[in-house]
Structure 1
Amino acid sequence: MTTKAGRHPTTRRTTVTERAPLPPKSRRHLPAVAVLPFLDLRRENGDAPLAEGIAEELIQALNQVEGLRTISRTTSFLYGGAGLPLAEAGRRLHADAVLGGSLLEGEGRLVLKTELVDVASGRELWSETRAFERKDLFAALEDTARGAASALSLSASFRPRRPVALEAYGYYLRGRHYYYRFNRRGMGFAAEMFRRALDLDPGYAPAWAGLANAAAYAYIYIERTEPQRELAESCSRKALELDPDLAEAHASRGVALSAAGRTEEAEEAFETALRLDPNLYEAAYFYARHCLAAGKPERAVEYFEWAAALRPEDFQAILLVAQVYHSLGVEDEAEAARRKGLTLVEERLERAPDDVRARYLGANALVALGEREKGLAWARMARSMDPDDPMLLYNLGCIHALAGDPGEALDCLERAVAAGLTQRNWFLHDGDLDAIRSHPRFQRLMDGLAD
């Protein structure tokens, strides 16, 4: 096993604290189902976020079915509205079955038409048309997920859900859509959408969790102010008060506590989230990021791999675990993860060339793998799309540090700090910055950062 000079090799699997839940068995080889965004055919109220929300609810429900893996929304939603037959979309998504359909409205009732298709044969496995009152949307979706699971010879049982007004749910979905862009502009829109959802339904715990996540992101990466920290704290606590058994609420609590530097409490919250729902990607992914920022790279490896097992088609966790392996000196593992992640990034950019995060994470992998000029070209392209975003600037600093360009790396890092990314722990524990740590400008930068 190849290691960097002066560092000790580590095994692929590491030991975590006794209270941490055990990772799930790898889901990579389970039968996979893709759920496409439903077509919203309502004449007056056609709404893409609601159509995506229906699919997302079905993804989350089917992800609870033992013996089944769902393709992540990030990947499957690229084929929504593409006009492809379901089986062809499923082939492109490397799925075994694909679920799709449409939403209509007539005489005050919603009508959901659903079809499940076997990808290999193109044969319809199951279909139904279900009419219901607007208030019964979530119950109807649970029944739909149960029917799809039964058609796949699997059984399903789901945790009861609190009803929510359709309009509030629509704003919540818009908030999630913007949140997962992971940039300053998107985060501002996300917070506004979550607030609108709560204006309509103050008791909707997922929207409180979403607002907490947006505030915590802003505090860590954009605007390190007490109002943002307090907002993350109060909203995450409110989500838990409303629904103590909601895994997403515990995960948002973990994010808020991590932002506040309350390390042990954050870990307890993330672990509770994963006990409640071991298939919750966000809990594993953000727990891994917390461990990395807290200077616990071995545990970061464990949870990034957990997240990658839950979403094998997602490039983020696999590329970030590659960076952690590099910082630990485990270069064989780092290279393998980077090559796998880069393949996923290229597939993503083929369908969504404007994905800035995919572009700069891919640039990092290219430079680390020795494709310096191509990686720097990708980095320039990412910067042209969103030149002032602090998260982008920070990652550009990492890329240029890996590329052996300390001046440009430090310029980018200084701009990231000026734009609001001022959490010292990220700079302290990111192995991509090792090459510039002794530089006087880096040391001055560190002296000015908050703990």
Structure 2
Amino acid sequence: LLVVIGQFIYFNFFRKDSSGNGGEKSIAVLPFENLSNDVSQEYFSDGVADNILNELSKIQGLKVCGRSSSFQYRGKSIDLQEVGKKLRVATLLVGSLQKHGDQLRINASLIKVEDGYQIWSHQFKKDLKDIFAIQDEIASTIAQKMRVTLNGSGLREESLEAYELCLKGKYYYNKGVPKAVDTAKLFYKSAIELDPNYALAYAGLADCYRLSIRDSSLTINYSLKALSIDSTLGEAWTNIGFVQSHLQRDWAKGLKTLNKALRFSPSYSYAHLFRGNVFFFNGKTKEGINEIEEAINIDPLSVFLSHVLARSYFMSRNYEKAINQANYTLKLHSKYEFGWLWTALSFIEYKQYQKALETLNHLPDDDHDVFGMFPKLPSLSYVHALLGNTHEAEVILEKDILKHPKNYFLQAYVYIALKKYDDAFIKLKVGVEAGDLWATNILLDPRLDPIRSDPRFKELIKLMKFDPSI
């Protein structure tokens, strides 16, 4: 009942218009141009824009474009109207920053996309110690100009050194590759050493550990520490909701936490994404896809969100849409692994096996880790099994088992195609118990269809703890 009430409140009072036309109250914060003549200062100009974006994203009734989309325009010569159209917003915040020693010069302008009209512009010449006040002033001025209410009391004044370390942490985290994320952790930890009550540094660490999937206890612990200092951090609530639902499989509790995250940060695309996943994995495919589309409406150029939508179409058996969305994903990033994977898997369902093999060859080498998975070898083996090339399928599968023993579900699909159902169930059970990410799709995945009537499959479903009340 509490979950139902929470959903009612969220949809009726907090959910934004998702029509995709931007609307009057929508904004993208573009990365501030670094005028410091020092590329090593890019983290600072990025970080200031990022902090303003995060403050604005807390506002109910204001759609704020996600960072992964708006920051794609760093260092590019752009047409503001074209950018606004692609980002689905009505206004843009553009700016530049020059840092010289302890002196700052920041130019910021609020631009109306439709006609290029400059709604507001200001130049700040201040000491570095005034950076917190400058960020607050820009965010509050935008809120005033757009006739919305800025939530909270603004950014807490931190130690300047800790603040810069935190900006460096976020700069490396946003690179998204494991080595850079490890570097981000070091910067966040250094910031905490200087300021043990720095909530954003703890929240940043939680983000880093969420990416590694296997460090769920650290994700929870750092998120809780951040919230003990600042209970309004939507990103921290999102991380907790992700672990509760996706990893601990307490779906209702996770959904409740994600609803709370969206009350504090209604424009946080990952809260919408994980909320959509909760619905989707529990069999509410329409509701799930709607929420994932809302995440994309906020962050329309995110390659990760685009691939998740392709996955959702594939798992809900709409293979034509899956291929189209996967192709769009590849337009955003031509080497993105899951763009090729969802295309290949959809070709398989159409029994276009040769096309599937050709597509799988676009995947990186078989030692490439994609979110803790190594999809190339078992996917190739799966196609050969379906083609009746049993020997070749088994040779590739054995190679994958030796190299990647934790590819539980990916290897189980091959056993199913080979009709070795006992072996498949052994892999599936271990995968469910180990938290294999493919297990979350177990209600929907077409590759599991041949074994759905087996009583052992029903036992696997029980282990996933899906919640019919969602």
In percent, how many aligned pairs have the same letter? 22
Distance 2:316 2:237 in 1: 30
Q: Is the CA contact (8 Å cut-off) linking 1:205 and 1:242 kept in structure 2? A: yes
What secondary structure is seen at the aligned counterpart in 1 of 2:232? coil
1:273: which partner in 2?
Answer: 261
Q: Is the CA contact (8 Å cut-off) linking 1:208 and 1:235 kept in structure 2? A: yes
Unaligned runs of 5+ in 2: 387-392, 410-430, 465-470
1:427: which partner in 2?
Answer: 438
1:159 corresponds to which of 152, 165, 190:
152
Alpha-carbon distance, 1:49 to partner:
1.9
**1:295-340 CA distances to partner (integer Å, 9 max, x unpaired)?**
77566445424423433443444542453354345x3xx644653x
Q: Is the CA contact (8 Å cut-off) linking 2:111 and 2:117 kept in structure 1? A: yes
Q: Is the CA contact (8 Å cut-off) linking 1:396 and 1:412 kept in structure 2? A: no
Q: Is the CA contact (8 Å cut-off) linking 1:34 and 1:95 kept in structure 2? A: yes
Alpha-carbon distance, 1:281 to partner:
1.6
2:243: which partner in 1?
Answer: 256
Alpha-carbon distance, 1:418 to partner:
3.9
What secondary structure is seen at the aligned counterpart in 2 of 1:19? helix
1:232: which partner in 2?
Answer: 219
Q: Is the CA contact (8 Å cut-off) linking 1:363 and 1:378 kept in structure 2? A: yes
Distance 1:304 1:165 in 2: 38
Matching of residues 397-436 of structure 1 within 5 Å:
407=393, 414=401, 417-418=405-406, 423-424=434-435, 426-430=437-441, 434-435=446-447
**1:220-248 CA distances to partner (integer Å, 9 max, x unpaired)?**
4xxxxxxx343233222212212222222
1:214 lines up with 2:208 in the alignment: yes
Q: Is the CA contact (8 Å cut-off) linking 2:206 and 2:223 kept in structure 1? A: yes
Q: Is the CA contact (8 Å cut-off) linking 1:390 and 1:420 kept in structure 2? A: no
1:345 corresponds to which of 307, 323, 329:
329
Matched AA of 2:218: L
Distance 1:345 1:216 in 2: 23
Name the CA shift for 1:232/1:34 in 2 (closer, same or farther; >3 Å): closer
The TM-score with structure 2 as length reference comes to 0.70
1:55 lines up with 2:49 in the alignment: yes
Alpha-carbon distance, 1:433 to partner:
5.2
1:287 lines up with 2:275 in the alignment: yes
Q: CA RMSD in A?
A: 4.3
Alpha-carbon distance, 1:38 to partner:
0.9
Name the CA shift for 1:61/1:402 in 2 (closer, same or farther; >3 Å): farther
2:137: which partner in 1?
Answer: 143
Q: Is the CA contact (8 Å cut-off) linking 1:87 and 1:98 kept in structure 2? A: no
Matching of residues 193-212 of structure 1 within 5 Å:
193-212=187-206
Name the CA shift for 1:156/1:187 in 2 (closer, same or farther; >3 Å): same
1:30 lines up with 2:14 in the alignment: no
Alpha-carbon distance, 1:41 to partner:
2.6
Distance 2:256 2:299 in 1: 23
1:388: which partner in 2?
Answer: 368
Distance 1:420 1:210 in 2: 31
Distance 2:255 2:106 in 1: 40
Name the CA shift for 1:171/1:250 in 2 (closer, same or farther; >3 Å): same
Deviates further, 18-27 or 396-405 = 396-405
Name the CA shift for 1:413/1:280 in 2 (closer, same or farther; >3 Å): farther
Matched AA of 1:288: G
Q: Is the CA contact (8 Å cut-off) linking 1:304 and 1:321 kept in structure 2? A: yes
Distance 1:370 1:64 in 2: 47
Unaligned runs of 5+ in 1: 1-15, 221-227
Alpha-carbon distance, 1:282 to partner:
1.9
Distance 1:235 1:218 in 2: 14
Distance 1:183 1:425 in 2: 21
Distance 2:174 2:265 in 1: 20
Name the CA shift for 1:136/1:324 in 2 (closer, same or farther; >3 Å): same
2:389: which partner in 1?
Answer: none
Q: Is the CA contact (8 Å cut-off) linking 1:215 and 1:231 kept in structure 2? A: yes
1:245: which partner in 2?
Answer: 232
Distance 1:328 1:89 in 2: 32
Alpha-carbon distance, 1:132 to partner:
3.4
1:129: which partner in 2?
Answer: 123
Task: Tell me the matched-pair count.
Answer: 414
Distance 2:165 2:41 in 1: 11
Matched AA of 2:271: A
* Greater relative CO (CA pairs within 8 A, separation 6+): 1
Distance 1:190 1:212 in 2: 11
Q: Is the CA contact (8 Å cut-off) linking 2:408 and 2:436 kept in structure 1? A: no
Distance 1:84 1:143 in 2: 26
Name the CA shift for 1:216/1:34 in 2 (closer, same or farther; >3 Å): closer
What secondary structure is seen at the aligned counterpart in 1 of 2:315? helix
Name the CA shift for 1:249/1:392 in 2 (closer, same or farther; >3 Å): closer
Distance 2:342 2:71 in 1: 21
Name the CA shift for 1:92/1:186 in 2 (closer, same or farther; >3 Å): same
Distance 1:254 1:165 in 2: 30
Deviates further, 427-436 or 413-422 = 413-422
Distance 2:197 2:381 in 1: 47
What secondary structure is seen at the aligned counterpart in 2 of 1:388? coil
**1:107-143 CA distances to partner (integer Å, 9 max, x unpaired)?**
8332211123344444433311023343432332232
Q: Is the CA contact (8 Å cut-off) linking 1:293 and 1:426 kept in structure 2? A: no
1:108: which partner in 2?
Answer: 102
1:327 corresponds to which of 282, 305, 315:
315
**1:231-269 CA distances to partner (integer Å, 9 max, x unpaired)?**
233222212212222222211222333434444443332
What secondary structure is seen at the aligned counterpart in 2 of 1:168? helix
Name the CA shift for 1:89/1:290 in 2 (closer, same or farther; >3 Å): closer
